[in-house]
Amino acid sequence: MQSKSLLPLSEVPIGTTARVKKIHSRGTTRRRMLDLGIILNTEIEALQKSPSGDPVAYYIRGAVIALRKEESSKILVEV
């Protein structure tokens, strides 16, 4: 049986798809995430890290979007 524990999007391994379960952001950061389509039950695939490791590129609703660890750590997902 698969574990249903939540982890931050920033900890999802490259090449893995996860589903959004909670967003712990407020204000303009939360608004930006919602505008990008990061809402409950959205599937997100971690594509690749930048050479410095931050930001990471994610495939979200047909688009590739880069998120900094500061942002992605506030998105809780289920792998």
pLDDT in 10s for each residue of the chain, 79 residues:
445 789 999 999 999 999 999 999 999 989 999 999 999 999 999 999 999 889 999 999 999 999 999 999 999 999 9
The residue segments making up the domain with residue 41 are 7-78
The answer to the question of residue 1 being in a domain is: no
CA angle, residues 64, 75, 70, in degrees to nearest 5: 80
Name the domain count of the chain: 1
* Helix H or strand E segment including 25: none
The answer to the question of residue 17 being in a domain is: yes
Reported pTM: 0.88
DSSP structure string for the chain: ------EEGGGSPTT-EEEEEEE---HHHHHHHHHTT--TT-EEEEEEE-TTS-SEEEEETTEEEEE-HHHHTTEEEE-
The answer to the question of residue 30 being in a domain is: yes
